[in-house]
Amino acid sequence: MNERHRAYFRQKLLKWKEEIVLRTKETIAGLHEDSTQHADLADRATTETDRAFELRDRDRQRKLISKIDAALARIEDGTYGYCEETGDPIGLRRLDARPIATLSVEAQERHERRERVYRED
């Protein structure tokens, strides 16, 4: 992976992280603003379900930020774009589709097959 590729992925990761942080701030502001109490139980249940879904989604996004930070650290230390399992380069198309990928396609497929086998036991 050359310097141009690293710069491209660094920028892509930083933009992705910025979008996540912005959406999180919007969610927090929305939760503070929408503190209305509904008299109807169905309306209250719908509101609570929506809130729970939003908070669950934000928690997933929080975990994603740590993966983005780890990918940015790998860019800095020169290990970005290489499979953690085999050491082989991860394809650029895979990194473009999933910039936080740590495994090559082949290694990811092996990992998923092992996961399926252990889950079925």
As a whole number, the mean pLDDT across the chain is: 89
Mean pLDDT in residue range 23-42 = 75
pLDDT one-digit tens code per residue, 11-31: 999 999 999 999 888 887 777
CA distances from 50 to 22, 47, 63, 103, 111 (A): 19, 5, 20, 34, 34
CA–CA dist 44, 110 (Å, integer): 45
Phi first, then psi, for residue 102 (nearest 5°) are -115, -10
Q: Is the pLDDT of residue 77 over 90?
A: yes
Categorise residue 13: left if φ over 0, alpha if ψ from -120 to 50, beta otherwise.
Answer: alpha
CA–CA dist 33, 45 (Å, integer): 18
CA distances from 47 to 16, 37, 51, 60, 86 (A): 28, 9, 6, 20, 47
Terminal-residue alpha carbon distance, the chain: 40
Q: Is the pLDDT of residue 120 over 80?
A: no
Superfamily of domain 1-80: DksA, coiled-coil domain (1.20.120.910)
Q: Is the pLDDT of residue 32 over 60?
A: yes
Answer with the residue of higher pLDDT: 26 or 34. 26
Residue extents of the structural domains in the chain: 1-80, 83-121
